[in-house]
Structure 1
Amino acid sequence: MLQKARDALRGFASEADAVILQRFFKTGPGEYGEGDRFLGVRVPATRKVARMFRAMPLADAQALLTSEIHEERLLALLILIGRYQRGTADQKRGIFDLYLANTRHINNWDLVDVSAEHVVGAHLWDKSRAPLSNLARSADIWERRIAVMATFHFIKKNQFDETLRIAELLLSDSHDLIHKAVGWMLREIGKRDLDAEEDFLRRHHQHMPRTMLRYAIEKFPEDKRRRYLLKGRGNGGRATDPRSRE
């Protein structure tokens, strides 16, 4: 089944898209995705392959997750998410453990963002949140991003305390990919409870990295955004995954 999945994925590959993706995901020397390799498969096609191989054995999914090919790792994560959602309690625990044992392969922001809430967040919903603190304090950028993105699961259930706690741990983080993730989650809180977001911002906006603040207040009225930005610091921007094109 493993080879069949790899072959199916390559059936959607595009050399032109691979060149674009390798540039977009910063795979050059010294960049955060240094050395990563792409087939040039768009996300909708990868999801289609994941549905085709939804019953893939976990050993095969783990083999994909350790691949040097980015889309194979994404495929593995999509399969693991489906297996987790359909699994028994023991199976879910096994997938959660597999995920945390392989974070070194969940090593770009798209891989984290597609999976963390559905495996880590979902698993810890009714359990100790201690693993999130460990991840947030990690020296590895992707583990820190997993920590905050996992809390999206809690936000969608209108539980914000864990996100705010992790956000405080990451306020002094030096990487803009963490600034963007924290700001995004603060914005998601604001969509559901503006008072909760603004209480956090009143206490921390003067010390937040500019990118984090910009993401957090993106949907605020212009005059309110200006007031926050005048007291903030730093700078930043955003990007959109070109593979999302249908």
Structure 2
Amino acid sequence: MHRIDPATEAFVAHRNLLFTVAYEMLGRRPESYVGPWLPEPLLTAPDVAEDVELADSVSMAVLRVLETLGPTERAVFVLREVFDLPYGEIADAVGKTQAAVRQIARRARARVVAHRSRGVVSAAETREALAAFQHAVETGNPEALLDILAPGVALVTDGGGVVQAALAPVVGVERVAQVLTGIPATASLRPAHVNGSPALVLWYGDAIDTVLSVRIDDGLITEICAVRNPAKLSGMERETRLR
């Protein structure tokens, strides 16, 4: 019987963890990207949403915060926060002094904590808001949308210059509602779990057109992230296991 070498065995055992870490560190915005940039959505299992810490670590919001960090900041943050490596080892890995690494880690952590200080919304609350949102869009009811959207809601669309999308966020409840009520009746919205949180997927026939994730504060949707770039939708073809 062929024996798997120790390195391969270790890789297989930690494949899901390594994928999660790599996903958090890589795949960042190209300098020439057209329009708003959003992380690539991943189809995840429903139970990920119940693991608050894991779901938050791969959420669209946190990944967008990490995207604002430079490569060294991002590497330091992940090596320290995910792997809990000593500052000395991280310093050797990134070619910095321990003092510099401590400062980098502190700054990076502060940015992520600033996001988390707004509070983590439960999966149940997100599902409830999305159900109301879906009903309002499917019925073309602008009044119902006004009830679930915050006054300063922003709609961020990522088309990557490949498909039609706004080149800047659409801001304001009336403007966002106008865009959403313009979705054709031939499209269908289906619930899914994306990046560890409840979300909606817009389908035309048997093809995914847009992945919609939301941010909720005080029971109202304050931001809608719509990924339309076809190059980013491959992660919705099959469920990605995270840990």
* TM-score normalised per structure 1: 0.26
Structure with the higher fraction of residues in helix conformation: 1
* TM-score normalised per structure 2: 0.26
Higher relative contact order, structure no. (Cα contacts within 8 Å, ≥ 6 residues apart): 2
